[in-house]
Amino acid sequence: MSSENKDFGKNKAFLIDMTKCTGCRGCQVACKQWNQLDAEKTKFFTGEGYQNPPLMSEYTFTRIKFRDYEKNGQNEFAFYKEMCMHCNEPACASVCPVGAFVKTKEGPVTYDAKRCIGCRFCMVACPFGVPKYEWSKAFPLVRKCTGCYSRIKEGKKPACATTCVSAITYGPREEMIKEAEKRIAARPEKYLKKLYGAEEAGGTSVIYLTALPFDELGFKHVTKRPLPSYTWQALRLVPGIFLTVGSSLSLLSWFNHRKERIAKEEEMRKSGSAPKEG
Amino acid sequence: MTAAKITQVVVDEVKGYHSFVKFLIFLVGAAAVASAIRFIFGLGVTTNLNDTFPWGLWISFDVVTAVPLAAGAFTLGAIVHCFHIKKLEPLVRPAIVTGFLGYSLVCVGLLLDLGQPQRGWHTMVYWNPHSPMFEVSMCIMAYTTVLFLEFLSPVCEKFGYHVPLRLLRTIEMPLVVLAASISTLHQSSLGTFFLIAVDKLHPLWYNPLLPLLFWVSAMCAGMSIITVEATMSHKYMGQPDEGELLETLAKILPCVLSFYLALRLFSLFALSEGALWDRPGLTALFVLEIVALVLPVLMLAQKKVRENGRLRATAAWMVIFGVVVNRFNVSMFGMEAPGTSYYPSFLESIVTIGIIAAHILFFVLIAKYFPIFEHHPETVDYSLPDHFHKTENGHGHVGNEA
């Protein structure tokens, strides 16, 4: 984790065109299969709409959120594929006390379960609410989408991107952004003229194209500044503060003790010389 | 035979305790049982924590609030030894005992809250200096060690170990300075925790000065705890009356407190971004927090309050209350998204009550068996050992010339 100048354009990124999503949830199934995640016992309409499971969890790394709305007097569905955003500068990686999260040079943000102490700071820090906890276990760990890092290293695409027939494109981040802009330019009436993920949290490796405004679909409002910079502006002062407080207090006490010693000495001299005078 | 005898002695001793102390022992026992249940059945079943509220009472109270409440040790240590207000020295020892107990119990609370407590040592191996949690855990480990060393003094006195006592006296000053520096770091870094919660923590509390505010208010809480503690040990435990010293402390407290309030209001109105007064519940909590800190400033500004033991303790209680509300606002209420709420489960509450009870219990027992309050250093030569004989040589030299 560092803020050194790094070119994120070559990172592998997802371009997810929500207007092309049909809500088949093939991505959810592929994700569960590849990551060998247990099924969850769920019911329809326990969440906000038709989505199932209702929320991401320790067993569900990605989910399609449904939103029903009316267009030209007809009921329509819009979708949002929720998953780890694989931020360029991830908040989870910066707050983790043991550095269990790593932004790989390929793009995915990975999690090392062997290091994790289970403090859940990543869950507090993540602006997208991605890391989930194994609440069912006595000694829980964190779970989240790995961007199928093991597949990427083998030159394959992530499981969800492989399965998806229409909506997910996978490739270098700069190319994905170009492609997205091309699509907006070609069909301006179809798309919202904004990309989610291009600047959110300082830029992410998941870029969304939508027809509806982001907040209506359930996208979170997130600052454009990389999150680690918020804590680093305070933490970078730590060594300086330690030395300043330490040295100034040492100096102060040395000075005061010296004063006391001299005062004592003075007193001793007075009392010592008193009998002579007498 | 001997083992039975020892057990008999212990049982007789415990039987002689006040019923309040026995009640505390019961609460601590209940918390121990509750902790065992947490490790058998897991966090999900036993707490009200979930993916929306990953941090609950155990972080908000046992860590984020308990740490500033244990700040008396470093504050008083610095006041007495560095700023050289020597007459407050008798208060340092109870403060160190409180600090040592407080930090030990913070460690206990943290271990209960961690998913993998057996891997706590990982923070020492896999460093991530970008993480405020890394910094705080390193500081807490270091500072608990420092407090333990400082706490050894009364223990050695009790058993008459003179050699370690000498050694401890020698390193006393470095320890005091180290304690103040380490505390400055982690008291403030607890505020840094929440700087990452950019769009989560409500603007009434989120601002870039959060670390500084945490540090200054921790000192206020520390001084207030000492005041309350000394007043109560005098009243209920028959310990010597430190009223005169608390009066001096009560002069320092409102100064620091008004500095905090000025800083708090400045950061609120000049540095916060976003709508401040959009949620009535949070506004009420904010007002409560500020009022609980403004009133004691007004009270302690008057001489008759400072001289009156009861009023002084009341003001100190209010400061403690205000700081506790502030920490809960930052780490719990202010973090709740509109329309969601968290409240601790029965088991979470039992554990936290047990931790508070353990603190009081151990303090009472330590004060009973070790020389904590009896220590009035004007009767002891407390100057540093002068290995280089600078004073004597200098003195002798001057004497020769004269």
pLDDT 10s digits, B124-165: 999 999 999 999 999 999 999 999 998 888 888 888 787 888
pLDDT at B314 exceeding the cut of 90: yes
Structure tokens at B100: 């040592």
Task: List chain B residues with CB under 8 Å of A270.
Answer: none
In this structure, the dihedral spanned by the alpha carbons of residues A126, A131, A134 and A135, taken in order and rounded to 10 degrees, is: 40
Per CB-CB distance under 8 Å, the chain B contacts of A127 are 198-200
User: Hey, which residues does A57 pair with through a beta bridge?
Assistant: A60
* Residue A130 Cα, gap to closest chain B Cα (Å): 9
Helix (H, G, I), strand (E, B) or coil at A194: coil
Among chain A residues, the shortest Cα distance to B52 is held by A129
* Binary contact (A235, B123; C-beta < 8 A): no
Nearest CA in chain A to B40: A138
Burial class (CB in 10 A: 0-12, 13-18, 19+), B47: buried
- Reported as a single tens digit per residue, the pLDDT across B265-299 is 999 999 998 889 999 999 999 999 999 999 999 99
Distance of CA A128 to the CA centre of its chain: 7
Q: Which residue of B has its CA nearest to A136?
A: B44
> Cα–Cα distance between B26 and B30 in angstroms, integer?
6
Nearest to A98 among B40, B122, B192 (CB): B122
Q: Which chain A residue has the Cα nearest residue B85?
A: A256
d(C-alpha B35, C-alpha A192), whole Å: 52
Rg of chain A taking only CA atoms, in angstroms: 28
Q: Which amino acid does the sequence have at A72? A: N
Average pLDDT over residues B23-51: 94
The residue in chain A having the minimum alpha-carbon distance to the alpha carbon of residue B331 is A124
Q: Are B157 and B165 in contact (CB under 8 A)?
A: yes
Do residue A250 and residue B177 have CB atoms under 8 angstroms apart? yes
Size of interface A-B (CB pairs under 8 A): 214
Give the single-character DSSP code of A61.
S
pLDDT tens, position by position, B92-114? 888 999 999 999 999 999 999 99
The alpha carbon of residue B128 is apart from the nearest alpha carbon of chain A, in Å, by 6
Contact (CB<8Å) B383/A242: no
Query: Quick count: other Cβ atoms within 10 Å of Cβ B26?
Result: 12
DSSP B59-112: HIIIIIIHHHHTTHHHHHHIIIIIS--GGGGGGHHHHHHHHHHHHHHHHHHHHH
Instruction: Kindly list the averaged pLDDT for each block of 10 residues, start to end, along chain A of length 278.
Output: 66 96 94 94 74 90 90 88 96 96 95 96 95 93 96 95 95 96 95 94 96 92 94 94 94 90 89 56
Distance CA A222, CA A219 (A): 9
Helix (H, G, I), strand (E, B) or coil at B30: helix
CA A185 to CA B234: how far, in whole Å?
Answer: 79
Interface ipTM? 0.89
The answer to whether B135 contacts A235, with C-beta atoms less than 8 Å apart, is yes
| Cβ–Cβ below 8 Å for A140 and B42 | yes
What Rg do the C-alpha atoms of chain B give, in angstroms?
23
Task: Identify the three-state secondary structure at position A101.
Answer: strand
Note the pLDDT tens digit of each residue in B213-223: 999 999 999 99
Q: How far is Cα B104 from Cα B98, in angstroms, rounded to an integer?
A: 10
CB B77 within 8 A of CB B180: yes
| Distance, CA of A60 to chain centre | 17
What residues of chain B lie within 8 A of the CB of A271, using their CB? none
- Chain A interface disruption, residue of B35, B40, B48, B130, most A CBs within 10 A: B130
Tell me the Ramachandran region of residue A36: left when phi exceeds 0, alpha when psi lies from -120 to 50, beta otherwise.
left
Residue contact B114–A117, C-beta within 8 A: yes
Task: Tally Cβ neighbours within 10 Å of residue B14.
Answer: 11
Identify the residue among B38, B64, B131, B273 best suited for mutation to test binding to A, counting A beta carbons within 10 A and taking the highest.
Answer: B131
- The Cα B255–Cα B398 span in angstroms is 43
User: Token match 């859940």: residue?
Assistant: A120
Q: Under an 8 A CB cutoff, do A261 and B189 touch?
A: no
Fold type of domain A8-230? Alpha-Beta Plaits (3.30.70)
Contact B43 A140 (CB under 8 A): yes
Q: Judge whether residue B198 has pLDDT over 80.
A: yes
Task: Read off the pTM.
Answer: 0.90
Locate the chain A residue with the closest alpha carbon to B336: A124
Band of pLDDT at residue B316, cut at 50, 70 and 90: very high
> Per-residue confidence at B1, pLDDT binned at 50, 70, 90?
low
Domain extent listing, chain A = 8-230, 237-277
CB spacing of A97 vs B128 below 8 angstroms? yes
CATH entry, B19-372, from 3.40.50.300, 1.20.1630.10, 3.40.630.30, 2.40.160.20: 1.20.1630.10
Report pLDDT for A46.
66
Residue B377, burial from CB neighbour count under 10 angstroms (0-12, 13-18, 19+): middle
Helices (H), B129-171: 132-159, 162-170
